[in-house]
Amino acid sequence: MTIDALFEAGSAPEAGALPTITIPRPDDWHVHLRDGAMLKAVLPYTAAQFARGIIMPNLVPPVVTVADALAYRDRILANRPQGSDFEPLMTCYLTDRTDPDEIERGFGERVWIAAKLYPAGATTNSSHGVTDLAGLSPVLERMEKIGMPVLVHGESTDPEVDIFDREEVFMENTLLPMLKRHEGLKVVVEHATTSGTVDIVRVHAPRVAATITPHHLVINRTSIFQGGLRPHLYCLPVAKRESHRQALRKAITSGESCFMIGTDSAPHMRSSKQAECCSAGVFGGVTALQTYVQVFDEEGALDRFEAFASLNGARFHGLAPNRGTVTLVKKPGVAVAAVPIGEEDIVVFRGGETLPWSIGGTGA
């Protein structure tokens, strides 16, 4: 499937003298593809923008063994659009019962590239997550020994902690002690949302890095309530104050190698979002690159976009940059408003809006 076919008619830019930027094909270092019909519906959008993606393992049931990861990878490959070479990079879902030998086997056989640490109850499908971080020490010690990164959903699950403070409390009470106990462990702080997290990542780089989502760069917590409650902007970690949004924008455009793309594209059916109890997640896989490049343009840092989008994540994970290129053009374009699945659909982040940048195409 071509890029043009994935976007509304008239939204693909024409070649010409418009401002353009061409970079090596980027990767998404944090993406949810789900499974079944939803996988089939959303995968083409991620595969059209990114060459590789770190696939989150929080299925029902979660991906906890090498066999689980192999089977899930096969399902993803079977659902790639014709002609796509998108490469899924699998992860293991850590639990209180994770076996260090299974972790090492999967990493040694290159079945998975990292393991995901969800505090139990922190977010979507995290009920099987870790309840006792001290009990996970043998696993983290093994990961430290073999050089396998742990990807951390950094939020406290203490019910007495305000939802807007959950990341800050986790960083101080859990992440920093973990980094001190495991001084050689490679850590990715997923979907960072606060200035404090950005500072912690900087201090502990290069063994610590952070992914930053497109939506946290363009919305703040007020956005969720503008004109009424906007459920399609609700995610975990929740968007924070404007000062934090500005800190994230400065971080990704700083040129520092410890920050990388991670869309946290997390599709939910419209009925699950527009519900009495709204599911957490923003589906940004359609408009991710257009949003990221817009931020770099607004911050006067287009010359640093290539490193953030195409180089930093690969370097952290010990992979070569991708072959081929993608070109983005500063020409207004409109992405699809929603992706249909049977009789329902998934609302696209910034879908239906006129965005200042468009995807111009890919090259060899």
Residue span of the structural domain in which 327 resides: 4-363
For the cut 60, the answer to whether the pLDDT of residue 7 exceeds it is no
Span 10-21, mean pLDDT?
A: 64
Asked if 170 and 155 touch (Cβ cutoff 8 Å), the reply is yes
What is the predicted pLDDT for the residue at 240?
98
Give percent of the chain with pLDDT exceeding 70: 95
CB 91 within 8 A of CB 112: yes
What's the gap between Cα 310 and its chain centre? 14
pLDDT tier for residue 362 given thresholds of 50, 70 and 90: confident
Instruction: Tell me how far CA of residue 213 lies from CA of 105, 219, 283, 285, 288, in angstroms.
Output: 31, 11, 11, 10, 8
Inform me whether the pLDDT recorded for 319 exceeds 60. Answer: yes
Longest dimension (CA), the chain: 59
> What DSSP letter does each residue of 228-270 carry, written as one string?
S--GGG--SSPP--HHHHHHHHHHHTS--TTEEE---B----H
When divided into structural domains, the chain yields a total of 1
Q: Look at residue 285 in the predicted model and tell me its pLDDT.
A: 96
Predicted local confidence at residue 10, as pLDDT: 38
Q: Tell me what pLDDT residue 2 has.
A: 52
| Residue from 319, 320, 206 nearest 259 by CA | 206
What is the tens place of the pLDDT at every residue in 65-93? Answer: 999 999 999 999 999 999 999 999 999 99
- What would the two tokens of residue 240 be? 């924070």
Residue of higher predicted confidence among 256 and 363: 256
Residue 338: its H or E element: strand 338-341
**DSSP per residue, 210-224:** EEE-SHHHH--GGGG
88, 39 contact by CB (below 8 A) = no
Q: What does the pLDDT look like over 173-224, one tens digit per residue?
A: 999 999 999 999 999 999 999 999 999 999 999 999 999 999 999 999 999 9
47: pLDDT strictly greater than 90: yes
The owner of tokens 């066999």 is 67
For range 308-319, the mean pLDDT: 98
Binding positions for Zn(2+) are 30, 32, 116, 153, 191, 264
Asked whether the predicted pLDDT for residue 9 surpasses 70, the reply is no
pLDDT (0 to 100) of residue 16: 55
Query: What was the pLDDT predicted at 35?
Result: 98
DSSP states of 11-26: -SPPSSSS-EEEEEPP
**Confidence (pLDDT) at 361:** 84
Token code pair at residue 203: 């201090």
Q: Looking at the DSSP assignment, which residues form a beta bridge with residue 28?
A: 53
Instruction: Give the Cα separation of 28 and 47 in Å (integer).
Output: 10
**Is residue 20 pLDDT above 90, yes or no?**
yes
Write the pLDDT tens digit of every residue in 329-356.
Answer: 999 999 999 999 999 999 999 999 999 9
Is residue 264 annotated as part of the catalytic site, yes or no? yes
Report the first-to-last Cα separation within the chain, whole angstroms: 16
Annotated binding site for substrate: 32-34, 58, 153, 236, 268, 280
As a whole number of angstroms, the distance between CA 75 and CA 58 comes to: 15
pLDDT at 15 over 90: no
pLDDT at 1 over 50: no
Alpha-carbon gap, residue 253 to 12, rounded angstroms: 26
Q: Please list, residue by residue across 289-320, b when 16 or more beta carbons sit within 10 angstroms of its beta carbon and e when fewer do.
A: bbbbbbbbbebebbebbbbbbbbbbbebbeee
Decide: helix, strand or coil at residue 322. Answer: coil
Tokens of 47: 């595969």
Query: Average of pLDDT values for 252-281?
Result: 98
**Which CATH number goes with the domain that contains 11?**
3.20.20.140
| Amino acid at site 316 | F
User: Where are any strands of DSSP class E within 106-227?
Assistant: 112-117, 150-152, 187-189, 208-212
- Give strand pairing partners of 362: 326
Nearest-10 Cα torsion for 13, 38, 71, 152: 80
Whether 14 shows a pLDDT value over 70: the answer reads: no
Over the chain, what is the mean pLDDT?
95
247: left (phi over 0), alpha (psi -120 to 50) or beta: alpha
pLDDT at 249 over 60: yes
Region 137-147: what's the mean pLDDT? 98
Strand order in the sheet with 208-212: 27-31, 52-55, 87-93, 112-117, 150-152, 187-189, 208-212, 259-261
Q: Catalytic one among 27, 28, 68, 264? A: 264
- pLDDT class for 11, splitting at 50, 70, 90? very low
> Percentage of the chain with pLDDT > 90?
91
